[in-house]
Structure 1
Amino acid sequence: MDKPVPPGLGGNFREQWAVQRRVIGALLMREMLTRYGRQNIGFLWLFIEPTIVTLLVAGIWTARGLNQFSGIPIVAFAITGYSAIQLWRNMSRRCINAIEPNQALLQHRPVKMLDIYLARMFLEIAGTTTSFVVLSVVFSLFSEQISPPEDILKVAFAWFLLAWFSMGLSITLGALSELSSLVEKFWPPAIYILYPLSGAMFLVSGLPHGMHEIVLYIPLVHANEMLRDGFFGSHFVAQYDLSYLIAWCMGLSIIGLGISRLTVEHRLS
């Protein structure tokens, strides 16, 4: 007589998917309680924090009169740019060295290393997306400085691709950090280098012509250009290659999952 298969280690796809959902859901709740606790505003800080930071950036840019140099709505420029920064920055930072403090959870057979990464990334996506949507809606309704998105489907698809890229990047960095401690030291300064190069603070059409081909090698620039094209594309000429961005998303996802598998084998050896 065959022995029963432990939960999460066999069964059909539907059973496996049910176990996966429960595991990630439990990890999400644990992460929220660990990070934000039950006191004061608790998990509300998940999207209040990025909202406050984005508002400060938009306020500073407006106070400096940057909106006087072009017809581009500066508040929309700040919201789209800094929200995008927070997405890939926070997700990557949360995945680096994420396994060490959660190593005891891996003693439970249904819990995998990837589940820990997914729980942390979903939490960041939820907070940043909520902040992005709330800011866009509030300013569109109660402020003359920003109009509703010109193409909301393009905005949603660009945000999805940005989240996908950020997930692939975060899994790759998280898995690499388990193999080498240099990742933890290398990535923080790399973030500050990527800030001005990611397209969050400029439009490709506003750069000198010789810089166009150079910055378009950076996939984040394509995501930001597409996001702003959906928001206020009539105010500028967007330059992005959708196939190039999707290729990067797929490539990072495959590389990240491959390195994660190597990391598991390294831990077991």
Structure 2
Amino acid sequence: MRVVGALLMREILTRYGRHNVGFLWIFFEPMMFTLGVLALWTATKATHGSALPVTSFAVTGYSSVLMWRNCANRCALAILPNQSLLYHRNVRVIDLFMARVLLEIAGATMSFVFLTAFFVTVGLMQPPQDITLVLGGWIHLAVFGSSVGFIVGALSERTETAERIWHTMAYLLFPLSGALFMVEWMPAKFQKIILLLPMVHGTEMLRGGYFGTLVKAHYDVGYMITCDLILMFIGLFLVNDASKRVEPE
């Protein structure tokens, strides 16, 4: 815990520095992205195919995307610039990934909580109907993002192609992640296909907890846990394999 904590502070200082608002950029960055999308939707009077409030729909959707996407993005090619740290006996490859993943989870969480509290206060959003479901969906997205981050980070140590492939996949997965739609709005024959993606279950659970009876959320807790365990096992296996090649004897 001390090692990860030290790496976390080092990551904050090297990424955001001590000037201006400093570490507050941890949640300013994801918050600005979500606000930008929300402003664009509002300015163009865009609709998302339902009577659900645009503000609530955008905040819950884009915050969930930032959670899993940023975790994986930050872990990609994370070993090389920090390889000198591995000469310290207590620093392991998994610690490098853990520090980056925790930083992204903290930033996305603070951004989501702040935006929700702010918009509820000014009357543009209603409070969540079931906070337990919201937390369950958020935790799933955090674990899913961490697992994918471990996989992408470990594979990118083998070849930079892995990082390039992931960025392409992230762009393709974004419109399929559930951020722009609810599964219930899709034709029945496509619902089973789209529910194969683990992040869709997390977004559906998050919105089910937020909107309550206003929506019919499609998610399977058993499937979510199974996917998280399998992906985490694969991620840890690959990280262990990467450690054997890059950590000094």
TM-score > 0.5 by shorter chain:
yes
What is the CA–CA distance in structure 1 between the aligned matches of 2:194 and 2:133, rounded to whole Å? 22
State percent identity of aligned pairs.
Answer: 46
Partner of 1:104: helix, strand, or coil? helix
Segments of structure 2 that go 5 or more residues without pairing to the other structure are none
Question: By how many angstroms is 1:75 displaced?
Answer: 0.8
The answer as to 2:147 corresponding to 1:168 is yes
- Runs of 4 or more, structure 1, over 6 Å off, are none
2:53 is equivalent to residue 81 of structure 1: no
Correspondent of 1:265 among 238, 244, 248: 244
Partner in structure 2 of residue 141 of structure 1? 121
Q: Paired residue for 1:198?
A: 177
Inter-partner Cα distance in structure 2 for 1:231 and 1:254? 31
Partner of 1:34: 14
Q: Which has the higher contact order (CA 8 A, sep 6+)?
A: 2
Distance (Å, rounded) in 2 between the aligned partners of 1:209 and 1:88: 26
Aligned residue in 1 for 2:158 = 179
* Amino acid of the structure 1 residue aligned with 2:26: L
Question: CA separation of 1:100/1:128 partners in 2, compared to 1, >3 Å: closer, same or farther?
Answer: same
Instruction: Single out whichever of 95-104 and 174-183 deviates more from structure 2.
Output: 174-183
Q: Which of the residues 24, 45, 56 maps onto 2:25?
A: 45
Instruction: Report SS of the residue matched to 2:126.
Output: coil
What one-letter code is carried by the residue in structure 2 that aligns with 1:154?
L
Over residues 31-64 of structure 1, what are the superposed CA-to-partner deviations in whole Å (9 max), with x where a residue is unaligned?
Answer: 0000000111111111111111111111222233
Residue 97 of structure 1 contacts residue 184 of structure 1 at CA under 8 Å; is this kept in 2?
yes
- Check the 8 A contact 1:155/1:228 in 2, yes or no: yes
Which AA in structure 2 matches 1:174? G
Name the TM-score, length of structure 2 as normaliser. 0.96
Of the three residues 70, 76, 79, the one matched with 1:90 is: 70
Aligned partner (choices 92, 97, 101) of residue 112 of structure 1: 92
Number of the residue aligned with 1:4: none
Count of residue correspondences: 248
Over the aligned positions, Cα root-mean-square deviation in angstroms equals 1.4
Point out where structure 1 has 5 or more consecutive residues left out of the alignment.
1-20
